[in-house]
Structure 1
């Protein structure tokens, strides 16, 4: 890819319009300009009677999209005033909601790595395709952040407490588990993807799927429900860790060790966000909540530190603050959910529950 390559490509072939994320060296990481361009294309195609299907793919062989451009978020949180990140999230979350309500079939090819913002672009679509190479995750707690792009909405719809497990640990899952958890609809072998996408130029989606869909590879999570459903039903992250350590299953102990390496603040906020998302109902209301949480994360040290450790310096040794779960108070957690007043995302529209009490409203940014 040259420096002048377009970060996202658009084309129409027959009855299908195509979005191709085109930053393969960055694993097609999503930036603000890409979000704007995708939204504009969806507007055009929604009005075009010749376009019957929209297809999302990623350039390169490694994956659809590794997530948002977190280096930019790191720099904005460390050195800026947060307005750039807030504007990005605002448009990104609006795009996530739009994809979920898009009136034409939206086919997302979730081949290879699909994480964070990549999940937001794909898993809200009406036809979600995975392959034996798919590796899907919401890994935000590992960088001091909280699952967003509607991730807390999607994960609450997984069976039992599997969504809580995935949200807290950031674990990667394959095709079988993506189907089990409701993050995907169909499995197509990777070597059949080109023919499947080509067929969409002339066939309805259902007919193309009938030609190429196959049973998915066997997943792992269904065999872990016995301990995930019990351990992650606990009221606090501390108790979840204690239950995992006491269970006896090696996989449960491994999950506990994974949690203890994540940001304590991000873990506690994520658990509350998942639990509240279950009762919020619509995707739009959950995205409104996620926007508040994301904005609050810009004002905490863990987001900058987590991205530094994982992406900038790559020492994989973040120094979280607070450093332990016990040090994160309920008041610390509640600050992430404080209303933003005039800075609210507002996807669900104004409601009594969204209006701030006097003195509680804030802006998005440090």
Structure 2
């Protein structure tokens, strides 16, 4: 089976799924998501397949998330319902990955952000490497951390979820492993070697045999708690601005640069009553995604960051 932007290869007991838009770091389209869902149908039905490897084509990364420039254009063209369809398909697929009966190994090499992290986080086994860069940068394009982030960011220790969501900061593979976003840390093993090992052993056994101790990370970080455990975004910003270290200055700049609409929405998602289940988290995020792409900050944020690249968004006044 071969589809333009998704490669599906079967080698013995292993299915290899490759997101295949390397020129744009494998950003996701509705067609890609549907193709991935069809591939999972075939894998589920094939009793000879014991495990799945999910990866991205090219050297730059696993997946940079949704094709947000296309989503913006849908809104500008008066067709936001195409965006609604994308999110419905994406969230249904992400939820399916969380509950898929066969073990999925997600190789989070390079850029793994937004919707890319949404795909990877649903895998039973999530492999970080020295090149891994994880982030949820949506507040800087007038959106919010979605793809189940209102569920999985709450699971992180301390105030890490708030920090990642409100600043859009990225973390490396060692930190991802320490926080539990990754289950294993490997020094970028050849995929062929990993597939060979998966032929001979269950995924957990094969990965445990390959896994390495990651470099020291900053997962247990008092700085996070000092500044991001406060009771509102305004208090967090004030705390950061009071500090004089470079890290606080950079975090304050990131928070100030975010859409006020996005910050308020993100805070509500992460700091209100937690969702009753992962399904409830996706349902709520689906409703908010439909609202968010229709808010003027979305088109403006994508314009400023990814279209004109002037990095000077004119955010709508907070209500």
Q: TM-score range by the shorter chain?
A: over 0.9
Q: 1:117 aligns with which of 115, 118, 125?
A: 115
Q: Distance in 2 between matches of 1:309 and 1:316?
A: 5
Q: 2:253 aligns with which of 257, 268, 271?
A: 257
Structure 1: which 5+ residue stretches go unaligned? Answer: 323-327, 330-366
| Counterpart for residue 244 of structure 1 | 240
* Larger RCO, structure (CA 8 Å, separation 6 or more): 2
1:268 aligns with 2:273: no
Please tell me whether the aligned partners of residues 3 and 35 of structure 2 are also in contact (alpha carbons under 8 angstroms): no
| Counterpart for residue 287 of structure 1 | 282
Give the superposition deviation at 1:216: 1.3
Please tell me whether the aligned partners of residues 227 and 247 of structure 1 are also in contact (alpha carbons under 8 angstroms): no
Q: 2:140 aligns with which of 113, 127, 142?
A: 142
1:29 aligns with 2:27: yes
Q: Distance in 1 between matches of 2:76 and 2:259?
A: 17
Secondary structure at the counterpart of residue 200 of structure 1: helix
Q: Distance in 2 between matches of 1:246 and 1:227?
A: 13
| Counterpart for residue 338 of structure 1 | none
Q: Deviations over 1:199-227 (max 9, x none)?
A: 223332133223321011222342xx323
Q: Distance in 2 between matches of 1:156 and 1:249?
A: 27
Give the superposition deviation at 1:176: 1.6
1:300 aligns with 2:295: yes
Give the superposition deviation at 1:139: 0.6
Give the superposition deviation at 1:265: 1.1
Q: Distance in 2 between matches of 1:24 and 1:282?
A: 34
Structure 1 residues 315 and 198 mapped into 2: Cα distance closer, same or farther (>3 Å)? farther
| Counterpart for residue 73 of structure 1 | 71
Q: Deviations over 1:136-170 (max 9, x none)?
A: 10110111110111122111111000110000111
| Counterpart for residue 50 of structure 2 | 52
Q: Distance in 2 between matches of 1:121 and 1:131?
A: 17
Equivalent positions of 1:119-134 (< 5 A) are: 119-134=117-132
Give the superposition deviation at 1:84: 0.3
Please tell me whether the aligned partners of residues 100 and 124 of structure 1 are also in contact (alpha carbons under 8 angstroms): yes
1:153 aligns with 2:148: no
Give the superposition deviation at 1:193: 4.5
Secondary structure at the counterpart of residue 178 of structure 1: helix
Cα-Cα RMSD: 1.6
Structure 2: which 5+ residue stretches go unaligned? Answer: none
Give the superposition deviation at 1:272: 0.8
| Counterpart for residue 217 of structure 2 | 219
Give the count of matched residue pairs: 318
Deviates more, 1:198-207 or 1:34-43: 198-207
Give the superposition deviation at 1:14: 1.1
Secondary structure at the counterpart of residue 11 of structure 1: strand
Give the superposition deviation at 1:300: 1.0
Q: Distance in 1 between matches of 2:241 and 2:219?
A: 18
Give the superposition deviation at 1:248: 4.2
Q: Distance in 2 between matches of 1:200 and 1:80?
A: 47
TM-score normalised per structure 1: 0.83
Equivalent positions of 1:6-45 (< 5 A) are: 6-45=4-43
Q: Distance in 1 between matches of 2:289 and 2:206?
A: 39
Give the superposition deviation at 1:192: 4.5
Give the superposition deviation at 1:194: 4.1
| Counterpart for residue 315 of structure 1 | 310
Q: Deviations over 1:238-258 (max 9, x none)?
A: 111001222444322321111
Secondary structure at the counterpart of residue 55 of structure 2: strand
Secondary structure at the counterpart of residue 155 of structure 2: coil
Please tell me whether the aligned partners of residues 6 and 20 of structure 2 are also in contact (alpha carbons under 8 angstroms): yes
Q: Distance in 2 between matches of 1:41 and 1:282?
A: 26
Please tell me whether the aligned partners of residues 125 and 204 of structure 2 are also in contact (alpha carbons under 8 angstroms): no
| Counterpart for residue 83 of structure 2 | 85
Secondary structure at the counterpart of residue 7 of structure 2: strand
